[in-house]
Structure 1
Amino acid sequence: MTTSATSAHSPPELEPLLKKRLIRLVALILIFSVMNGTMFNVAIPDIADHFNLLPSQVSWVMTGYIMVNAVGALMYGKLADIFPIRSILTFGISMFALGALLGFLSPSYGFLLASRILQAIGGATIPALAFIIPTRFFPNERGKVFGIISSTIAFASGIGPIAGGLIAGILDWRYLFLFSVASVFAIPFFRKWMPAEEKREGKIDYLGALLFSIAIASFLAFVTTLMMWLIPVASLSFVLFILRIVKAEDPFIRPEMLKNRAYTITILTSFLGTSVLFGLIFVIPIMLRDLYDLSTLAIGFVLFPGAMIAGILGRSGGELVDKIGGEKVVVLALVLIGSGTILLSTFAGFAPWIIAVCLVISYIGFPLIQSSTANILSAILPAKQTGVGIGLFNLLNFVAGAFSSASFGAILDIQDTGIVLNPFALQGENAIFSNLFLGLTVLSFLALLLFSMTFKKHSSAD
Structure 2
Amino acid sequence: MTTIAGQASLEKSLTKSEKKKVIFLICSVLLFSVMNGTMFMIAVPDIALTFSLAPSQVSWVVTGYIVIYAIGALMYGKLADIYPLRTLLTIGLSFFVSGSILGFFAPSFGVVILARVIQAAGASSIVALVFIVPTRYFQEERGKVLGIVSSTMAFASGIGPVIGGFIAGVLNWQFLFLISALVIFAIPFFWIWMPEEKKKEGKVDIFGAGLIAFAVASLMLFITVVNWWFLVSSIGFFGLFAARTRTSENPFIRPDLFRNRPFRTTILAGFFAIMTMFGMMLMLPLMLNEVNHLNTLHIGLTIFPAAMAAAFTGRIAGVLTDKRGSKQVVIIAFVLMVTGFFLLSTFVGSPAWVIGLVVIISYIAFPFIQTGTATLISTSLPKNEIGVGMGIYNLFNFMSGAIGGAVIGKILDYESGVLLNPLSFAQDHAIMYSNVFIGLLLLTVVNGFCFYLTLRNSTV
Paired position in structure 2 for 1:363: 363
Q: Is 1:36 aligned with 2:22?
A: no
| Offset of residue 323 of structure 1 | 0.4
CA shift in 2, pair 1:101/1:147, >3 Å: same
Structure-2 separation of matches of 1:418 and 1:411: 14
Q: Is 1:61 aligned with 2:61?
A: yes
Paired position in structure 1 for 2:183: 183
Q: 1:91-128: CA deviations, max 9, x gaps? A: 11111011001100000000110011001111110000
Q: Please identify, of 62-71 and 350-359, the stretch whose mean Cα deviation from structure 2 is larger.
A: 350-359
1:393-412 superposed matches below 5 A:
393-412=393-412
1:104-253 superposed matches below 5 A:
104-253=104-253
Contact 1:11 1:197 in 2 (8 A): no
CA shift in 2, pair 1:127/1:133, >3 Å: same
Structure-2 separation of matches of 1:291 and 1:9: 53
Give the partner amino acid of 2:371: S
| Offset of residue 277 of structure 1 | 1.1
Secondary structure at the aligned position of 1:309 is classed as helix
Paired position in structure 1 for 2:455: 455
Secondary structure at the aligned position of 2:204 is classed as coil
Contact 2:3 2:195 in 1 (8 A): no
Structure-1 separation of matches of 2:23 and 2:119: 23
The aligned length equals 457
Paired position in structure 1 for 2:345: 345
Q: Is 1:424 aligned with 2:423?
A: yes
Q: Please identify, of 339-348 and 5-14, the stretch whose mean Cα deviation from structure 2 is larger.
A: 5-14
Give the partner amino acid of 1:424: L
TM-score by length of 2: 0.97
Give the partner amino acid of 1:51: F
Q: 1:15-47: CA deviations, max 9, x gaps? A: 100100110111111100000000011100000
Structure-1 separation of matches of 2:420 and 2:5: 59
| Offset of residue 448 of structure 1 | 0.5
Contact 1:347 1:354 in 2 (8 A): yes
Q: Please identify, of 188-197 and 241-250, the stretch whose mean Cα deviation from structure 2 is larger.
A: 241-250
Paired position in structure 2 for 1:305: 305
Segments of structure 2 that go 5 or more residues without pairing to the other structure are none
Structure-2 separation of matches of 1:8 and 1:448: 33
Paired position in structure 1 for 2:22: 22
Give the partner amino acid of 2:347: F
Segments of structure 1 that go 5 or more residues without pairing to the other structure are none
Structure-2 separation of matches of 1:373 and 1:228: 32
| Offset of residue 213 of structure 1 | 1.1
Q: 1:33-77: CA deviations, max 9, x gaps? A: 000000011100000010111111111100111111101111000
Contact 1:9 1:200 in 2 (8 A): no
Contact 1:334 1:444 in 2 (8 A): yes
Structure-1 separation of matches of 2:125 and 2:70: 11
Structure-2 separation of matches of 1:289 and 1:369: 28
| Offset of residue 196 of structure 1 | 0.5
Paired position in structure 2 for 1:439: 439
| Offset of residue 7 of structure 1 | 5.9
| Offset of residue 246 of structure 1 | 2.2
Structure-1 separation of matches of 2:338 and 2:239: 35
| Offset of residue 376 of structure 1 | 1.0
| Aligned alpha-carbon RMSD (Å) | 1.5
Contact 1:278 1:401 in 2 (8 A): yes
Q: Please identify, of 131-140 and 205-214, the stretch whose mean Cα deviation from structure 2 is larger.
A: 205-214
| Offset of residue 212 of structure 1 | 1.0
Structure-1 separation of matches of 2:359 and 2:444: 15
Give the partner amino acid of 1:421: L
Q: Please identify, of 343-352 and 30-39, the stretch whose mean Cα deviation from structure 2 is larger.
A: 343-352
Contact 2:131 2:374 in 1 (8 A): yes
Secondary structure at the aligned position of 2:42 is classed as coil
Give the partner amino acid of 2:401: G
Q: 1:339-373: CA deviations, max 9, x gaps? A: 10111011111111111112100100100110111
Contact 2:31 2:152 in 1 (8 A): yes
Give the partner amino acid of 1:330: V
Identity %: 48
Q: Is 1:325 aligned with 2:362?
A: no
CA shift in 2, pair 1:358/1:204, >3 Å: same
Contact 1:79 1:387 in 2 (8 A): yes
Contact 1:266 1:377 in 2 (8 A): yes
Contact 2:329 2:368 in 1 (8 A): yes
Structure-2 separation of matches of 1:120 and 1:338: 33
Structure-1 separation of matches of 2:302 and 2:248: 51
Q: Please identify, of 449-458 and 359-368, the stretch whose mean Cα deviation from structure 2 is larger.
A: 449-458
CA shift in 2, pair 1:5/1:354, >3 Å: closer
Structure-2 separation of matches of 1:349 and 1:405: 21
Contact 1:7 1:197 in 2 (8 A): no
Structure-2 separation of matches of 1:106 and 1:312: 38
Q: 1:317-336: CA deviations, max 9, x gaps? A: 10110000000000001110
Secondary structure at the aligned position of 1:43 is classed as helix
Contact 1:8 1:200 in 2 (8 A): no
Paired position in structure 1 for 2:279: 279
Q: 1:247-287: CA deviations, max 9, x gaps? A: 21111111111111110110111111111111111001001
Structure-2 separation of matches of 1:30 and 1:14: 21
| Offset of residue 417 of structure 1 | 1.7
Structure-2 separation of matches of 1:10 and 1:197: 12
Contact 2:64 2:117 in 1 (8 A): yes
Secondary structure at the aligned position of 1:422 is classed as coil
| Offset of residue 6 of structure 1 | 2.8
Q: Please identify, of 117-126 and 242-251, the stretch whose mean Cα deviation from structure 2 is larger.
A: 242-251
| Offset of residue 5 of structure 1 | 8.5
CA shift in 2, pair 1:331/1:188, >3 Å: same
Structure-2 separation of matches of 1:289 and 1:4: 54
Structure-2 separation of matches of 1:145 and 1:177: 29
Paired position in structure 2 for 1:6: 5
Structure-2 separation of matches of 1:313 and 1:106: 40
Structure-1 separation of matches of 2:325 and 2:345: 31
Q: 1:219-261: CA deviations, max 9, x gaps? A: 1111111111111101111122122222211111111111111
Contact 2:333 2:369 in 1 (8 A): yes
